Chain A
Amino acid sequence: MRSILTLIFLSVLFSTHAQTDITGTVTDPSGIPIQGANIYLEGTYDGASSDENGSFSFTSSETGQQNLVVSFLSFETYSLIQDVTSMTDLKIVLKEDVNSLDSVVLNAGTFSAGDNSKASVLTPLDIVTTAGADGDFIGALQTLPGTSNNEEDGRLFVRGGDANETNIYIDGLRVFQPFAATTNNLPTRGRFSSFLFKGTNFSTGGYSAEYGDALSSVLQLNTIDEPDQEKTELQFINVGLGGGNTQKWGKNSLSLNAFYLNLKPYQEIISQRVEWIKPYESLSGEAVYRHKFNNGLLKVYGGLSYSNFEFIQEDINVPEGVNFGLKNRNLYVNTSYKGTLGNDWSIASGISYANDYNNIDIINTDVNDRENSFHLKLKLRKRFSNRVKLNFGAEQFINTFSEDVEVSDVDTIKTNYDNNSTAVFTEANVFFSKKLAMQVGLRGVHNSLLDYTKVSPRVSLAYKTSSKSQISLAYGDFYQAPQQNVLKFNSTLDPEKSSHYILNYLYQNNGRTFRAEGYYKSYESLIKFDTEIPEFDSVFNNNGDGYATGIDIFWRDNKSIKNLEYWISYSYLNTERDYRNYPNRATPNFAAEHNLSLVTKYWIRDWKSLLSTTYNFGSGRPYNDPNESVFQNQKTRTFNSLNFSWAYLISQQKILYFSVSNVLGFDNVFNYQYANTPDVSGNFARRPIRPNADRFFIVGFFWTISDDKKDNQLDNL
């Protein structure tokens, strides 16, 4: 018995020490040897690195079936299970890892900032240090090609589309009122403080099937996952005061901030073209709570803002001017969860809610409107392999609106609607190789108010032409329901439709980026009506149409001149549309043919200063002169503006900031308003629509208090 046992042990010992040679070569798909690949038997110490000929050899005392693993940076890990004795003269061909940094990117139509994405053209800091943007993230995006400068509005006008054709999302969920409430010719700003976001994805066309109800563009903003550290921030600006605080504990973090803005003191010093009765005043607060679970991340964002102003708006038809007052209250809550489910499944889900209330007084008319909106979304993602991924999901929009218009001593008109829609989407991402990738998607939407169901395909392709360059193509159909101003009077219309065709070329080399994109966009079923603005007795139809075509050029260089970063954007736009009450196709006022931006940022180390300038140019904008027989055939003078900002870092935590827009005081005209009736000599009189002031000055002091005394708010400016 004893001898048998001994024998067994001996044999076990012996067998574990028998040596087998494992040899072979490692190459890439084109047969080029790979040096430095890691080759080993899984779960053992036995292995080697391949030499300059791609050859390897090592010995192992393992027997039987074993798993041979071969791994190398930017290649997919290879695995071979077979008997060790047959692991000789192996010819191993590694497949390129399509997730590596030098792979092709599907980027037609898209500008991204931050997120370490390879296609990024801006850094998160750029968004906030661009002169003229004054901390508004939308302002920086207006220096990118594909946008038309409409300084009197402040929102995004993309490729011949008006501002309503762009939708904004935070963490994948819709933002219903992304801009502060204003009126004609008072530029607006984004409601959200830019320091909450770590990455921005701005699509000027051909975007993913995940997004809908926008004819031209979507802007995706992603909030930061985890703040770096606890801190308190204080802001003292000539037009307001703000403060914020961030706390972290365990797997939780909470950021709070508030800002009070009042333009009264400023407007008493700097003369304005309009007569203010109650200068713009707003109070806003935001809170973000984040909780990390083992397999996911929960974020809850809440923002509440209140604003009010009153002024006398100049009007050619009303000599004494139009008294206009507005009070707005907005609540926005956004809750999202992102996580993994195991087995290569992941989930992104959430709900956003907005409650918006406006009270508007125009002369003797009192308008009250209330809007409640919900967005619910569930998205699942399955990763079949490194090369094939599938996204699919469903979303529900619920929107209720009601408005009371009270004309004193006359009547009260009530309007309301419930606009609900349901959408499903699916999208596949396929990498055929590191050089060729494709995304194919389909989106279906049903709107219960207007009772329509539409299906829209989305396709994009990208091909890497060299190690530094690539071309991509995109196509997509996009539908958008009519806006609030139409829906409140009519619920029998069809959605408006656009189709995008995009060709993109991208070249990136060591701090320099060149991007050129040509596009054609067609518009169908645009909404027309027979009155100046939509009214309760207007006759509406879907007979409008149009097109937009153009070329967008972007050049960025961070390397050629030390401490200087700059970018140049140029957009050529040719567009005409027949919509609203247009008698025929014409180019709308917001669409200038040529737009140019030059943005520079120069860091002077000795002065501890960041100097930024932004020059914007726009060719003349079309307007209609009723004295002429042809509709919309006049053009304003060209638009020019040079903005300047100076951030001086007093110490690591204190920043002094100064900025001025339109330094050179160009006298810009955006449009003309003509009299409704001709004067005695048969001419229609006009007044130019100009900025409320030629320049805007900001002086601010930003103070960050954190334990480490290192952080500052440069990224908030």
Chain B
Amino acid sequence: MRTIIILLTFFAINTIHAQNAYEKGMKKAFELWETKKPDEAINLFERIAKAEKENWLPYYYAAQVHIITTFGIKDAEEIESRLKKAQDFLNESKTFSKENAEILIMEAMLNTAYVAYNPSVYGPTLSGKVEELYRTAKTYEPENPRATLYHAEWKMGGAKFWGKDPKSFCPEVEKAILYFEKEPEKKVPFYPQWGKNQIKRIQQNCK
């Protein structure tokens, strides 16, 4: 009996130990990203992903850092290779989590990054795909605030391109605000919760 207790305690300690390592690692990776060390952050997310085996989150964040980083660079080759890598990470992510709205939203952002960097080549070929990704994400989670907010921004961009009023999508942004407020606290640590601080920027279109 005592042996069993010792054994159980030991395993418990070990799992807590592992859990802590995961949380510590993820926290550290976010810190690196915040302190403008995106590549180190990506490396750490990738290391965690490889160690965790069946967790979609580290791959998801590794992809996100790559995608966000491309918005600040001009070199075509670097943008292409980062986005290619980001797609690889998202593909890995998808193998562990099916029908995941958050991954699709990230994939929509990835394709938006292609369009942003070379509109004449990727605009016509990827626009439909971006639309479809947001659409599918919303069927999985109709009240996902990120899907609602970024889909609205994407449509505003389209409206501006076509010389139409982007304001018609402002009610969507209002909806997104509501969904952010309603967004339930996720039990899974590090579950995506970002996006709230982008509302103001996107609302510029509504003035």
Are these two chains actual partners, yes or no? yes
CB within 8 Å of B: which residues of A?
Answer: 2, 5-6, 9, 13, 36-38, 40, 42-45, 47-49, 69, 71, 73-74, 100-102, 114, 123-125, 228-229, 510, 558, 565, 603, 606, 608, 649, 651-652, 707-708, 710-711, 714-715
Cβ contacts A to B, 24 pairs, < 8 Å? A6-B6, A13-B10, A38-B42, A40-B51, A47-B44, A47-B47, A49-B39, A71-B46, A73-B81, A73-B85, A100-B81, A101-B81, A123-B125, A125-B124, A228-B129, A228-B131, A558-B120, A565-B120, A606-B163, A608-B163, A651-B162, A708-B128, A711-B128, A715-B124
Nearest-Cβ distance from residue A364 to partner chain B, whole angstroms: 53
B131 touches A711 (CB 8 A): yes
Number of chain B residues whose Cβ lies closer than 8 Å to a Cβ of chain A: 38
Answer yes or no: B43 CB below 8 A from chain A CBs.
yes
Nearest-Cβ distance from residue A415 to partner chain B, whole angstroms: 48
Closest to B124 in A: A125
Alpha-carbon distance A44/B43, docked complex (angstroms):
13
Nearest-Cβ distance from residue A704 to partner chain B, whole angstroms: 10
Q: A49 — which chain B residues lie within 8 A by C-beta?
A: 39-40, 43-44
Answer yes or no: B54 CB below 8 A from chain A CBs.
no
Alpha-carbon distance A108/B163, docked complex (angstroms):
44
A708 touches B135 (CB 8 A): yes
Closest to B50 in A: A42
Alpha-carbon distance A708/B152, docked complex (angstroms):
12
A714 touches B124 (CB 8 A): yes
Answer yes or no: B82 CB below 8 A from chain A CBs.
yes
Chain A proximity mask over B118-160: 1 for CB below 8 Å, otherwise 0: 0011001101110110010000000000000000000100100
Nearest-Cβ distance from residue B152 to partner chain A, whole angstroms: 13
Q: B167 — which chain A residues lie within 8 A by C-beta?
A: none
Closest to B131 in A: A708
With beta carbons under 8 angstroms apart, the residue of A44, A100, A229, A603 that contacts B131 is A229
With beta carbons under 8 angstroms apart, the residue of A100, A608, A715 that contacts B162 is A608
Q: B125 — which chain A residues lie within 8 A by C-beta?
A: 114, 123-125, 715
Closest to A231 in B: B128
Q: A228 — which chain B residues lie within 8 A by C-beta?
A: 128-129, 131-132
Q: A125 — which chain B residues lie within 8 A by C-beta?
A: 121, 124-125
Alpha-carbon distance A711/B10, docked complex (angstroms):
59
B81 touches A36 (CB 8 A): no
Alpha-carbon distance A707/B44, docked complex (angstroms):
41
Nearest-Cβ distance from residue B193 to partner chain A, whole angstroms: 23
Counting chain A CB atoms within 10 Å of each CB, the highest count among B6, B46, B121 belongs to B121
Nearest-Cβ distance from residue B90 to partner chain A, whole angstroms: 16
Main secondary structure of the interface of B (DSSP, over half): helix
Answer yes or no: B3 CB below 8 A from chain A CBs.
yes
B162 touches A5 (CB 8 A): no
B76 touches A510 (CB 8 A): yes
Closest to A230 in B: B132
B127 touches A711 (CB 8 A): yes
B158 touches A652 (CB 8 A): yes
Nearest-Cβ distance from residue B12 to partner chain A, whole angstroms: 13
B131 touches A43 (CB 8 A): no
B2 touches A2 (CB 8 A): yes
A45 touches B128 (CB 8 A): no
Q: B120 — which chain A residues lie within 8 A by C-beta?
A: 123, 558, 565, 603
With beta carbons under 8 angstroms apart, the residue of B6, B43, B155 that contacts A5 is B6
B131 touches A710 (CB 8 A): yes
Answer yes or no: B170 CB below 8 A from chain A CBs.
no
Answer yes or no: B105 CB below 8 A from chain A CBs.
no
Nearest-Cβ distance from residue A565 to partner chain B, whole angstroms: 7
Q: A229 — which chain B residues lie within 8 A by C-beta?
A: 128, 131-132, 135
Nearest-Cβ distance from residue A180 to partner chain B, whole angstroms: 27
Q: B46 — which chain A residues lie within 8 A by C-beta?
A: 38, 71
Alpha-carbon distance A49/B65, docked complex (angstroms):
16
Nearest-Cβ distance from residue A340 to partner chain B, whole angstroms: 14
Q: A37 — which chain B residues lie within 8 A by C-beta?
A: 43
Nearest-Cβ distance from residue B191 to partner chain A, whole angstroms: 20
Rank and list the top 3 A-B pairs by shortest CB-CB distance, nearest first.
A228-B128, A38-B43, A36-B39
Nearest-Cβ distance from residue B113 to partner chain A, whole angstroms: 14
A43 touches B39 (CB 8 A): no
Nearest-Cβ distance from residue A118 to partner chain B, whole angstroms: 9
Nearest-Cβ distance from residue A115 to partner chain B, whole angstroms: 11
Known: A74-B81, A101-B77, A510-B76. A707 touches B135 (CB 8 A): yes
Alpha-carbon distance A71/B45, docked complex (angstroms):
13
Nearest-Cβ distance from residue B72 to partner chain A, whole angstroms: 16
Q: A6 — which chain B residues lie within 8 A by C-beta?
A: 6
Q: B31 — which chain A residues lie within 8 A by C-beta?
A: none
Q: B158 — which chain A residues lie within 8 A by C-beta?
A: 652, 710
8 Å CB contacts to A: which residues of B70-101? Answer: 76-77, 80-82, 84-85
Alpha-carbon distance A714/B44, docked complex (angstroms):
43
Nearest-Cβ distance from residue A195 to partner chain B, whole angstroms: 12
Q: A49-B43, A49-B44 given. 17 additional CB < 8 A pairs? A: A6-B6, A9-B6, A43-B51, A45-B51, A47-B43, A47-B44, A74-B81, A100-B81, A114-B125, A228-B129, A229-B132, A608-B162, A649-B162, A652-B158, A652-B162, A708-B132, A711-B127
Q: B39 — which chain A residues lie within 8 A by C-beta?
A: 36, 49
Alpha-carbon distance A5/B84, docked complex (angstroms):
52
B10 touches A9 (CB 8 A): yes
Alpha-carbon distance A672/B93, docked complex (angstroms):
66
Closest to A227 in B: B128
Known: A102-B77, A125-B125. A45 touches B21 (CB 8 A): yes
Q: A651 — which chain B residues lie within 8 A by C-beta?
A: 162
Q: B57 — which chain A residues lie within 8 A by C-beta?
A: none
Closest to A71 in B: B46
8 Å CB contacts to A: which residues of B20-43? Answer: 21-22, 25, 39-40, 42-43
Q: B82 — which chain A residues lie within 8 A by C-beta?
A: 73
Answer yes or no: B48 CB below 8 A from chain A CBs.
yes
Alpha-carbon distance A711/B21, docked complex (angstroms):
47
Q: A38 — which chain B residues lie within 8 A by C-beta?
A: 42-43, 46-47
Nearest-Cβ distance from residue A49 to partner chain B, whole angstroms: 4
Alpha-carbon distance A9/B21, docked complex (angstroms):
21
Q: A44 — which chain B residues lie within 8 A by C-beta?
A: 51
Known: A73-B81, A510-B76, A608-B162. A43 touches B128 (CB 8 A): no
Alpha-carbon distance A2/B6, docked complex (angstroms):
10
B127 touches A710 (CB 8 A): yes
Closest to A2 in B: B2
Closest to A126 in B: B121
Nearest-Cβ distance from residue B6 to partner chain A, whole angstroms: 7
Alpha-carbon distance A114/B126, docked complex (angstroms):
12
Alpha-carbon distance A652/B93, docked complex (angstroms):
34
Q: A71 — which chain B residues lie within 8 A by C-beta?
A: 46
Nearest-Cβ distance from residue B150 to partner chain A, whole angstroms: 14
Nearest-Cβ distance from residue B138 to partner chain A, whole angstroms: 11
Closest to A714 in B: B124
Alpha-carbon distance A707/B139, docked complex (angstroms):
14
Q: B48 — which chain A residues lie within 8 A by C-beta?
A: 45
Closest to B48 in A: A45
Alpha-carbon distance A49/B77, docked complex (angstroms):
22
Q: A73 — which chain B residues lie within 8 A by C-beta?
A: 81-82, 85
Q: A714 — which chain B residues lie within 8 A by C-beta?
A: 124
Alpha-carbon distance A37/B43, docked complex (angstroms):
8
Nearest-Cβ distance from residue A229 to partner chain B, whole angstroms: 5
